[in-house]
Amino acid sequence: MDELMELLQELDPEVDFENEEALIDDRILDSLTILALIADIEETFDVTVPAVEIVPANFNSAKAMYAMIERLQEEG
């Protein structure tokens, strides 16, 4: 989770990613930022984020993103 938090803080250090639960719904993250984040996640965590996973529910919070990452790592 620490690595993910570092990636998110690099995107926008002013956002409280630990507590924010509506990153997409509140338009804190836009589509271009999400694409950049997906590239960072894939590189950092050695996973591939398939298109079906690119939904607001997986990117609305750091917790949701980390749960998706863990699921992708398990699926290998």
CATH of the domain at 26: 1.10.1200.10
> Does the pLDDT value for residue 53 go beyond 90?
yes
pLDDT surpassing 90 at residue 30: yes
* Local structure of 5: helix, strand or coil: helix
**How far is residue 67 from each of residues 14, 16, 63, measured CA to CA in Å?**
23, 18, 6
Q: Which pLDDT score, from 0 to 100, does residue 52 have?
A: 97
Which residue segment(s) compose the domain that 64 sits in? Answer: 2-13+22-75
Write down the pLDDT at residue 76. 83
What is the pLDDT at residue 34?
96
Domain count, the chain: 1
Entry pTM? 0.95
